[in-house]
Chains A and B, each alone.
Chain A
Amino acid sequence: MTAHLMFQPDQARQLQTCIHCGLCLPSCPTYMVTGREADSPRGRLVLMNSIDRHEWSDRSGHFVHIDRCLGCLACETACPSGVPYGSLLEQVRSFQRREVTPLKLGSRTILRWTTAPVLRRRLTRLLAWLQKLRLDRLAVRLRLLPRPLRMQLAGLPKLPAKSFTAAAEQRFEPRHPEGIHRETVALFAGCVMDSWFANVHAATVRVMQWNGYTVIVPAGQHCCGALHAHAGIDTATGAKGERVGDMSAFSQTGAAALIVNSAGCGAHLKHAAADGLPQVVDAVEWLVDNGLLPPVHKLPEKVTYDAPCHLFHAQKIVQQPEALLRAACENLIPLPESEVCCGSAGLYSLTEPDLSRQILGRKLAMLEKVDAEIVATANPGCQMQIQGGLKLDGQRRQVRHTLEILDAAYSLDETYRRVFAE
C-alpha cells in the first residue's frame, strides 16, 4: 500500500469512488472552456491521487490545474458515484497552502481588506468616495486598471452609507398583514454583504417580517471564513485577531434558524458551523419551504434567474428560488445554463483572470439571448461579477438579489409600503 501524503484514509477511499466514467466532464465550466482533461473534474481527481501517492519533485504542473478549479461543484451534481469532490478539493488546497505554495500576496491582501472589519471599513470608505466623485466610472472607462479590477469596480453596487449591523443587537418584529406571528430567526450579516449589500439585508428583514417572522440581527458578527476555506487557508492560524469563522454571536440567540442570504456563506456554514448554533438555512429556502406569503401584485419586468453554484450545486437548493420568483414576477424567463458558474468563485476572477473572463463570456452570451431586464441571483460575488461583466459588455441589465425582487414585488402593495415607511 502506498502511503498518503495528503488524504486521511477515509478521504483516500472517497477518492476511489471515482470510477473514471467521465459523466462529469460536460458540466465542468473549465473543461467547457479549455477542453483539457486536466481541467476536468475527472482529470483533477487523477492529479489529486497522484499528488497524494507520490513524492513528485515538482508538483507545480499538477497544481496549475487545481488552481484553475472554480470549486463550483457542478461535478458533484453530475457524478453518479457521489464523489465528494468539494471536500477533497478543500483538503488539497489546504495541503497546498501549507506545504507547497502559500497564497499569493495579492489574494491575501484582498482577503484581509474585505473580511477584516477595520480594513474593510477603510476600503468601503475609499470606494464610496470614488463612487461619489464618479472616479470609479472614469477608471472603468479609461481602462486605467487591469480588466479584472475594472470589472469589480463596475460591478460594485452603490455603496451604502453604513453597514447593516449595528453596535447593539437589532430586533425586528413581525409585520404580517394578518397579524400572524411565526418563529424568531437570526440573520447572518457576513462581511462584504454587511458593508456593501446592506440593502439586501434590509430587504431580507422586511420580507421576513411581512411573512410573520421576528428577525434578530446580533451585534459582534464576523466573517464566516468561506473564502478562506476555498482558498485553502486555515482561519484559526491564518488571520490573527480577525476572528474569522467566529460564530459565537449566534449561540445565545435561541433563534429557530440562522438565516443566510449569501449562497457561498450558506454552503460553508452548513458544513462548518459549530454545535450549539441554530440550524443554518438559506433565506429563500426558509421562506419557500415554510410557505411563502404570495405578493398581491407581481413585478411586471422581465426577470431571469442565474443559479449561484453554492445554492444549486453545494446546497442543492434548486426549486425554491424559482418558486419564489414565479410568485413575485409576471415574466420569469428561463436562462439556459443557469446552473453553470459565472466565473466569480471567490477570488477566482482575480487569480485566474483569463479563464474567469471566458467563463463569464459564456454566461453573458446566454444572457444576451434572453430578453430580460433583471437578472436575479443570490450571492454577492456572482452579483458583482455578472453586473460588472454586463456593464463592460454594454448590456443594460440590472442584477438583483432574489429577495430584493420579492421585496420589490411586495412593495407594489400599498400596505407593505406604508408599514415599512414608518
Chain B
Amino acid sequence: MPLNDSLTRRFRKIVGRPNVDTGTAELLTFASDGLTLHQAAPECVVYPQSTGEVAAIVKACNRAGVPFVARGAGTGLSGGAIIDGGVIIQLSRMNQIIYLSADNRFAIVQPGVVNSYLSLQTRPYGLEFAPDPSSQAACTIGGNVAENAGGPHTLKQGVTLNHVLGQTVVMADGQVATFGGPYLAQTGPSFSSFLVGSEGTLGITTEVTVRLVPVAAGITTMLATFADPAGATDSVTAILAARILPSALEFIDQLCIQAVEAHLKVGFPTDAGAILLIELDTDDERSKGQAETIEALCREHGAIDFTLAQSEEERQKLWLGRKHVAGAMGKISPAYYTNDGVVPRSRLTDILQAVYRIAGIHKLKVANIAHAGDGNIHPLILFDPDTPDGADRALACSEDILAACLEMGGSLSGEHGIGLEKREMMARMYSGADLAHMRRLRNGLSPLGLLNPCKLLPEGARCGEVKNGATLPEGTWL
C-alpha cells in the first residue's frame, strides 16, 4: 500500500521538500539497522530538525493512521529502528548540544548527538558522558536512551538510565511532554526513567538532559592472559568477591583476539585461550594494592601472563582492540549474530561452557566477548547467509543460549534490547501478569499502536511477521 500522497505533502510542508525521502534508493538504505537479519523498508523517511517538527510529523501520522518509528544512527542490534512500510523519523540532523553546564555537571542535548562526540566536547571541562557502548563512535544519545545502552565502564558508573536526568518527549499522539530536569533530586515518580529502555515504543525523545561525570584522574589498565577461558571467568567472580569494583572488566576469547589482531595489531596475545581487560579509574597507592590483589587472584585462577599498560597510548590501543571486536568479525565471517544474554556473574563460567556446547550442537562457530563484570555475555554467532538455513540456525543457537541464561536466573538482554527477534521469548522471562501490565502501559501511551509497532512485547498473530526481504527484492542485502 503506497503511502498516501497527502501525507507526504504534509511532511514536505512541515520539514521542507528536501527533508522528505520517498525514492527507492533512499528507502532501501533504511531497510535494516545493525542487525541485518531483518529487512523491511519504510515508505517514507522524514528528517526533522526540532521538537516542533517531530510533533507535527507524529500528529500527521496519527491522523493518517500510518505507523512510524524514530531512528538515530541505526547501530541497534535488535531490529528496533526498522519499519515495514510506514515512516522513519530520522533524527540525525537533530545533533546539537543545546546547553552545557560544567558547574552543575549536566548537558542538554538533541537526540541525534553522537555518544563519543558529546564526551569529546565536554572533556575540556573535565567531564564526560559515562555510558560507553562499543558503538560509541556512531550511536546517538537518543538511541542510547531508548536501548538503555551500556558499555565496559557502566560496571562502575551505571548504564544510561543512571545518566539521564530528564527528557523532552513527543508522545505517541504528538503532544510534547517534559519529564525530569537537570537535578538529581526530583519531585514525584520518575517518568523519564520509565522511558529509558522502552526501545522507542512509548515516545520519541527530542531533548535529553544528561548527567556528566568527572573524567577519571588516573587510570590503571591491566591485561590478564589465560590458557583456559574458564580461568578468566573464575577470576572475574573472584575479583568482585574480593570487594574490588573495577571500572571495567571485559572478557575476550581466542577467536575474537585472532580476528582483531589479524586486522589491527593492538597487542593481544593470539595464542591465549582468553584475556581479561581490567581497569581501575585511579592510579594511586590504593589502586596499586588493588592491582596486586587482582594479579594474585588471576594467577591463582591460572593466568599465564599479567601486564599493566605502560602508557596512555598502550591503553588506548587495548581499548581500540576491545571496541573493534564485533567489527572485526567481518574479517572472519560473512555474517554474525550478536547474542546479548545476561547471567548472575557467579555463573559466568557455566554459561560460557554452555555457549561453546550449544554452538557445537548447532555446528556453528562462536566468538565470545562479555562485559564480564555485569554478567552480560555477547556470543558472536558466525554464520553464512548464503546457505539456505544459515540465519535460522544462528537464531536457533542464540535462542538456546538465551534459554540457558534464563535457566541460570539471568535475562534476555543486557543492553541491545528485545526489538524484533527476541520479543516472543519475553513470555519465557515474564509472567502473563507482568506482560499484561507492560502492554497496558504501552496501550495507554500509544492507543493507536502506531509508534514502533511489533517491537519489544510479544504480539502473537496481531503483528504479522517482518520477514527477511518482505518488501525487498531477493538478495538485497545479506
**Contact residue among A23, A36, A64 (Cβ-Cβ distance under 8 Å from B138):** A23
The number of residue pairs between A and B whose CB atoms lie closer than 8 Å in the complex comes to 123
Q: Does A287 contact B (CB under 8 A)?
A: no
Q: Does B328 contact A (CB under 8 A)?
A: yes
**Contact residue among B29, B73, B324 (Cβ-Cβ distance under 8 Å from A46):** B29
Residues of B within 8 A of A254 (CB): none
Within 8 A of A (CB), among B5-50: 21, 23-26, 28-36, 45, 47
A16, B386: Cα distance in complex, Å: 11
Asked, given contacts A20-B477, A26-B114, A81-B329, whether A37 binds B25 with beta carbons under 8 Å apart, the answer is: no
A2, B34: Cα distance in complex, Å: 23
Q: Does A80 contact B (CB under 8 A)?
A: yes
A36, B335: Cα distance in complex, Å: 24
Q: Which of A31, A46, A53, A65 has the most CB of B within 10 A?
A: A46
Shortest Cβ gap from B341 to chain A (Å): 20
Contact: B28 with A46, CB < 8 Å?
A: yes
Within 8 A of B (CB), among A13-34: 13, 16-26, 31
A38, B47: Cα distance in complex, Å: 13
Residues of B within 8 A of A25 (CB): 73, 138
**Contact residue among A23, A46, A61 (Cβ-Cβ distance under 8 Å from B75):** A23
Of chain A, the residue at the smallest CB distance from B90 is: A35
Asked, given contacts A81-B329, A82-B263, whether A47 binds B29 with beta carbons under 8 Å apart, the answer is: yes
Contact: B25 with A22, CB < 8 Å?
A: no
Contact: A62 with B21, CB < 8 Å?
A: no
Q: Which of A50, A54, A64, A78 has the most CB of B within 10 A?
A: A50
Of chain B, the residue at the smallest CB distance from A64 is: B25
Residues of A within 8 A of B474 (CB): 2
Residues of A within 8 A of B330 (CB): 16-19, 80-83
Shortest Cβ gap from A77 to chain B (Å): 11
- By DSSP majority rule, is chain B's interface helix, strand, loop, or mixed? loop
Contact: B75 with A37, CB < 8 Å?
A: no
Asked, given contacts A20-B34, A23-B137, whether A81 binds B331 with beta carbons under 8 Å apart, the answer is: yes
A47, B92: Cα distance in complex, Å: 20
Contact: B137 with A53, CB < 8 Å?
A: no
A50, B30: Cα distance in complex, Å: 13
Q: Does A1 contact B (CB under 8 A)?
A: yes
Contact: A23 with B135, CB < 8 Å?
A: yes
Residues of A within 8 A of B26 (CB): 36-38, 61, 65
Shortest Cβ gap from A101 to chain B (Å): 15
Q: Does B117 contact A (CB under 8 A)?
A: yes
Flag B301-340 by CB within 8 Å of A: 1 or 0 each.
0000000000000000000000110111111001110000
Q: Does A223 contact B (CB under 8 A)?
A: no
Contact: A22 with B138, CB < 8 Å?
A: yes
Contact: A65 with B473, CB < 8 Å?
A: no
Q: Which of A19, A40, A42, A78 has the most CB of B within 10 A?
A: A19
Contact: B25 with A26, CB < 8 Å?
A: no
Shortest Cβ gap from B88 to chain A (Å): 9
A320, B476: Cα distance in complex, Å: 42
Shortest Cβ gap from B42 to chain A (Å): 11
Q: Does B74 contact A (CB under 8 A)?
A: yes
**Contact residue among A21, A35, A47, A65 (Cβ-Cβ distance under 8 Å from B93):** A35
Contact: B329 with A53, CB < 8 Å?
A: no
Contact: B475 with A2, CB < 8 Å?
A: yes
Q: Does A331 contact B (CB under 8 A)?
A: no
Q: Does A361 contact B (CB under 8 A)?
A: no
Asked, given contacts A35-B93, A54-B473, whether A19 binds B335 with beta carbons under 8 Å apart, the answer is: yes
Asked, given contacts A19-B329, A22-B135, whether A1 binds B386 with beta carbons under 8 Å apart, the answer is: yes
Contact: B21 with A21, CB < 8 Å?
A: no
Q: Does A79 contact B (CB under 8 A)?
A: yes
Contact: B47 with A35, CB < 8 Å?
A: yes
Q: Does A49 contact B (CB under 8 A)?
A: yes
Flag B265-287 by CB within 8 Å of A: 1 or 0 each.
00000000000000000000000
Within 8 A of A (CB), among B70-103: 73-75, 90, 92-93, 95
Residues of B within 8 A of A13 (CB): 334
Shortest Cβ gap from B251 to chain A (Å): 19
Asked, given contacts A37-B26, A38-B26, whether A80 binds B93 with beta carbons under 8 Å apart, the answer is: no
Of chain A, the residue at the smallest CB distance from B328 is: A80
Asked, given contacts A17-B331, A83-B330, whether A35 binds B92 with beta carbons under 8 Å apart, the answer is: yes
Contact: A82 with B331, CB < 8 Å?
A: yes
Of chain A, the residue at the smallest CB distance from B93 is: A35
Within 8 A of A (CB), among B323-361: 323-324, 326-331, 334-336
Residues of A within 8 A of B331 (CB): 17, 81-82
**Contact residue among A1, A19, A54 (Cβ-Cβ distance under 8 Å from B327):** A19
**Contact residue among A62, A78, A80 (Cβ-Cβ distance under 8 Å from B326):** A80
Residues of A within 8 A of B28 (CB): 38, 46-47, 50
Asked, given contacts A25-B138, A47-B25, whether A81 binds B114 with beta carbons under 8 Å apart, the answer is: no
A42, B28: Cα distance in complex, Å: 12
A53, B475: Cα distance in complex, Å: 7
Residues of A within 8 A of B329 (CB): 19, 81
Q: Which of B31, B92, B93, B326 has the most CB of A within 10 A?
A: B92
Q: Does A353 contact B (CB under 8 A)?
A: no
Q: Does A43 contact B (CB under 8 A)?
A: yes
Of chain B, the residue at the smallest CB distance from A47 is: B25
Q: 23 A-B Cβ contacts within 8 A?
A: A16-B330, A19-B326, A20-B32, A20-B36, A22-B135, A23-B327, A25-B138, A35-B95, A36-B90, A36-B92, A37-B30, A37-B74, A38-B29, A42-B29, A43-B29, A46-B477, A49-B476, A50-B25, A54-B473, A65-B26, A79-B327, A81-B263, A83-B330
Q: Closest 3 interchain pairs by CB? A: A80-B327, A81-B330, A35-B92
Please report A residues at the B interface, Cβ cutoff 8 Å: 1-2, 13, 16-26, 31, 35-38, 40, 42-43, 46-47, 49-50, 53-54, 61-62, 64-65, 78-83
Please report B residues at the A interface, Cβ cutoff 8 Å: 21, 23-26, 28-36, 45, 47, 73-75, 90, 92-93, 95, 112, 114, 117, 135, 137-139, 263, 323-324, 326-331, 334-336, 386, 473-477
Given contacts A79-B327, A80-B327, 13 further A-B contacts (CB under 8 A): A17-B331, A17-B334, A21-B138, A22-B33, A31-B92, A36-B47, A38-B26, A38-B29, A49-B476, A53-B476, A80-B263, A81-B327, A82-B331
